[in-house]
Structure 1
């Protein structure tokens, strides 16, 4: 303990003044000082150990993610509290700082729209995938090598064949090879003049074919944005209240119009996450039994807006190439400097997280991928592990996959509703515990028992954690109808809980599953469009960037694969996701 430390000063203040000291035996004096010195020595040791541990983990997981946002955008966000800080030592971010973070996140997902008009746009003036084209820069004698970047130029036209002169279309792009079982997601850049660039890294030898898809026109995206801001209650919920033989059902949501009706407040006391139900006419608020999806508000579109959402016309329709749509990729060049100089900065900033080859996902984010084709390999990887899965039905798929693939995992009968949960499975031989629970509202499940609801942040706070604990999180699909601020607030609570967990148990393995693409039709688009999911997905990535967590990139894994998009991806894709999860868990277990 240094003489200048606060503990030393406190000790000096506690020393007696020998000039005024009362008489007593030498043993009494020594006993008195011994107790004081022992107390201060123990306190100092605890202080020292705590700070050593803090220093060791400074850059791993105790630094606030908000500070990490600031380090990436220092020119936009000021550094507060003078320095980055440990979550358990520094002050909480102020409302002003949280507002800055929210503003940055919203700015990062800002989407260009069509120019303002005095009257609604007609269908023939909107983006038409049939008249639109993309071209590849193929020149005679040009060679393509692994490590190069391919750029496809997309030019959008309207239904009358006229070039579009503004951006905002929602396009997807992928490079794939059916023969090789290969595929990688492309990055689309909007030049805001009707033209777009689709950038692809060349990662395998052989054939590579470009595919560009119009998901929604810019005019349709403008409608989706309006619905999100003006009709956040277009999916509504209900709860059953019951006492004795009397029961009532009322409407519930995050926010309810007053309508001169009394409301029951079910706001979570820990997180402050709001949830309300209209109060039953007779019964009290404490008689609530369950939660369920109530329904979908219909007739959301005007007669001019409805044609913007047509299957096989302007929802997820391929754009054809003007000329060849594929190239042949040769082995890597010997002169790597030439390759590096040809790569655009945009491609580096938006590098893919991985790609498929022979239908197996090859991660590019540091995870050494393994194939878990035998159940015995999975049990060895998960031996002595407790795996908590919290979230929506897309992570419930992971629970179901492991349960079906590993016969040693035996599911306990908790008498939970099918497809709802909570669920639990145990492998007593290998000491494996697997649990699933859905996240708190909003969630579009049927008949969830009210007292079974758990918010993810509260669940994380209840974990002891450690190297044998795996927490898997997935939360996105049920927030598509709300303003993005609602999702930011929920993720902020989860991020804080993640930081607390990693602070008290640094070895805890945390895995976050991102959003994925899904099949769309005119009706589904209005509530669960991929455009909504993309916006949430980008916020999710920004919120957890830099933390000691693994992001399983379901977005790119579904975009790059040859199989059709589905809210619940097919088994071939789920298997690759599970392989990535297990590869990460095994890798961490042996470090």
Structure 2
């Protein structure tokens, strides 16, 4: 990432003169346009006209007297507003799951928007027993519309501060994706990825003296009007939709599920839902998931491997889980600073294991100063020669929720290009993608809403389609187990790592 002086256009991307657009810009704009067409554009004048979960209802279509393991079920959801009037258009954000607490089982349901105020939720039964159903209204369609329009208005949710050091002189200045063109600026550009970032140039200091960055939430900033903000009170988020039925009794019925599963491997076809929990163990529909719950089992799997972990604090959870369980892995202290966002390196010289963690690159939101000049995921992949013992694992999403969606789309397209090139030079190198998970939404809903997460999850699944990669579907898993934590419990992490290692060994 280069630092130099110049005058620039706002918006996080240089604009070419005239009508010319690069191929990457065309791709980004096309994907954005396709998404924009699917999201409702609603201008509402009163909160009474918005979807209300408590007034809505869910009922079973063509209910049978008996359900067996392997059967399917469709629940229809009819939405009503605060005045009790039935909605006539779709766009509400809904999540659904079946679960049996006594056996610690759970699975996601697939929501079909009928575009007329009604929805079909498709479930399948994977275990015997008493099964409960939960359908949650995350946001009404009016909230979805407001969040979509707000997100793409700019970069105002985050304030960047750059720290420059030149011998004994230090300066802290404003940085960001939208430069003030009236000032002399330093540009930190990535021409190949078409990403640009700027800092005000400190007086009498070179642009190359930027050493650290800090990025803080701007809680005073909002793109929502006062009426729209009322949609995101905690009492209006993740609200249970009343059901016109109780539990479902599921019997075995001597029916056998198809248990012939292949080994987990790259390039598998992925569907939603992708699996289910039973006795707190994740069962994948397409492959056998082995359990790696001891030091010996994990060690045997990763012996002789170089594993690159890249992402955010949810990837640090994977690193922590593995290194806590494998005591033979020793950390090589790279910095005195204990900031989790710094690079981490663990090695086992006897078993020839190397595990390395790095951030996924800017945008990254953390209130403490951190190293800024670390490469983004595409550049990290480009630096790997690769072989049968190399594994590249990454996640990205949480930190992108606060920025216009085109930024995320562009990064994903660049990652796809880098993976394709990696597999040209090294087809045997394994690439593992951890989808982002659901998160808590007690505050900063406008910035962090799971609507942004769902949108990014959907875009990622489309852009990465056809790649020879391994997917750990954390989105599906956290909905199935009803996790509402930014950092899921260890039982979720253990199952994610099980799927990761089952794909490697």
Query: 2:156, 2:221 within 8 Å by CA — same for their partners in 1?
Result: no
Equivalent residue for 1:180, pick from 95, 103, 117:
103
Structure 2 gap segments, 5+ residues each: 1-20, 258-268
Aligned to 1:277: 199
- 1:320 alignment partner, SS class: coil
Taking the aligned partners of 2:90 and 2:387, their CA distance within structure 1 comes to 48
Equivalent residue for 1:540, pick from 460, 466, 474:
460
Query: 2:345, 2:357 within 8 Å by CA — same for their partners in 1?
Result: yes
Aligned to 2:404: 483
Aligned to 1:573: 492
Taking the aligned partners of 1:133 and 1:537, their CA distance within structure 2 comes to 27
Pairwise CA distance, 1:333: 7.1
Pairwise CA distance, 1:377: 0.3
Offset from partner CA, 1:261-290 (integer Å, 9 cap, x none): 122100125533211112223422122120
Query: Is structure 2 residue 21 aligned with structure 1 residue 99?
Result: no
Taking the aligned partners of 1:429 and 1:373, their CA distance within structure 2 comes to 21
- 1:582 alignment partner, SS class: helix
What does residue range 75-90 of structure 1 map to in structure 2 within 5 Å?
none
Taking the aligned partners of 2:98 and 2:397, their CA distance within structure 1 comes to 26
Taking the aligned partners of 1:350 and 1:413, their CA distance within structure 2 comes to 41
Normalised by the length of structure 1, the TM-score is 0.76
Taking the aligned partners of 1:282 and 1:382, their CA distance within structure 2 comes to 50
Higher relative contact order (CA 8 A, sep 6+): 2
Pairwise CA distance, 1:179: 1.5
Query: 1:102, 1:488 within 8 Å by CA — same for their partners in 2?
Result: no
Equivalent residue for 1:113, pick from 40, 43, 48:
40
Offset from partner CA, 1:356-414 (integer Å, 9 cap, x none): 11110011233x20111211100000010010011222112111111111111111111
Taking the aligned partners of 2:271 and 2:417, their CA distance within structure 1 comes to 27
Offset from partner CA, 1:133-179 (integer Å, 9 cap, x none): 2112364x622122221111111122222222221111111111111
Query: 2:161, 2:175 within 8 Å by CA — same for their partners in 1?
Result: yes
Normalised by the length of structure 2, the TM-score is 0.88
What does residue range 465-476 of structure 1 map to in structure 2 within 5 Å?
465-476=386-397
What does residue range 544-563 of structure 1 map to in structure 2 within 5 Å?
544-562=464-482
What does residue range 116-195 of structure 1 map to in structure 2 within 5 Å?
116=43, 120-137=44-61, 139=63, 142-195=65-118
Give 1 or 2: higher helix fraction.
1
Taking the aligned partners of 1:548 and 1:350, their CA distance within structure 2 comes to 15
- 1:436 alignment partner, SS class: strand
For the structure 1 residues 103 and 272, does the alpha-carbon distance in structure 2 shift closer, same or farther, using more than 3 Å as the test? closer
Query: 1:187, 1:350 within 8 Å by CA — same for their partners in 2?
Result: no
Aligned to 1:319: 241
How many corresponding residue pairs?
Answer: 471
Greater CA drift, 494-503 or 105-114 = 105-114
Taking the aligned partners of 1:114 and 1:443, their CA distance within structure 2 comes to 30
Offset from partner CA, 1:50-77 (integer Å, 9 cap, x none): xxxxxxxxxxxxxxxxxxxxxxxxxxxx
Taking the aligned partners of 1:128 and 1:322, their CA distance within structure 2 comes to 16
Pairwise CA distance, 1:98: 6.9
Taking the aligned partners of 2:25 and 2:372, their CA distance within structure 1 comes to 31
Aligned to 2:339: 418
Query: 1:114, 1:167 within 8 Å by CA — same for their partners in 2?
Result: no
Query: Is structure 2 residue 447 aligned with structure 1 residue 527?
Result: yes
Aligned to 2:291: 371
Pairwise CA distance, 1:546: 1.3
Query: 2:154, 2:404 within 8 Å by CA — same for their partners in 1?
Result: no
Query: Is structure 2 residue 218 aligned with structure 1 residue 296?
Result: yes
Aligned to 1:20: none
Pairwise CA distance, 1:530: 0.5
Pairwise CA distance, 1:350: 5.1
Equivalent residue for 2:177, pick from 225, 236, 254:
254
Aligned to 2:309: 389
Taking the aligned partners of 1:125 and 1:334, their CA distance within structure 2 comes to 47
Query: 1:146, 1:329 within 8 Å by CA — same for their partners in 2?
Result: yes
Query: 1:105, 1:539 within 8 Å by CA — same for their partners in 2?
Result: no
- 2:309 alignment partner, SS class: strand
- 1:492 alignment partner, SS class: helix
Greater CA drift, 576-585 or 478-487 = 478-487
Query: 1:253, 1:442 within 8 Å by CA — same for their partners in 2?
Result: no
Taking the aligned partners of 2:36 and 2:306, their CA distance within structure 1 comes to 36
Query: 1:228, 1:482 within 8 Å by CA — same for their partners in 2?
Result: yes
Pairwise CA distance, 1:306: 1.9
Taking the aligned partners of 1:102 and 1:201, their CA distance within structure 2 comes to 37
Query: 1:263, 1:278 within 8 Å by CA — same for their partners in 2?
Result: yes
Structure 1 gap segments, 5+ residues each: 1-93, 337-347, 587-591
Pairwise CA distance, 1:531: 0.5
Pairwise CA distance, 1:100: 5.4
Aligned to 2:4: none
Aligned to 1:28: none
Equivalent residue for 1:406, pick from 300, 317, 326:
326
Equivalent residue for 2:149, pick from 226, 235, 244:
226
For the structure 1 residues 110 and 183, does the alpha-carbon distance in structure 2 shift closer, same or farther, using more than 3 Å as the test? farther
Taking the aligned partners of 2:305 and 2:406, their CA distance within structure 1 comes to 35
Aligned to 2:273: 352
Offset from partner CA, 1:510-566 (integer Å, 9 cap, x none): 100111100112x4211111001111111111111111100100100100014x311
Pairwise CA distance, 1:435: 0.5
Pairwise CA distance, 1:111: 3.5
Taking the aligned partners of 2:218 and 2:297, their CA distance within structure 1 comes to 44
Aligned to 1:449: 371
Query: Is structure 2 residue 380 aligned with structure 1 residue 459?
Result: yes
Offset from partner CA, 1:420-458 (integer Å, 9 cap, x none): 12000112221111100102111113311234x111111
Pairwise CA distance, 1:257: 4.1
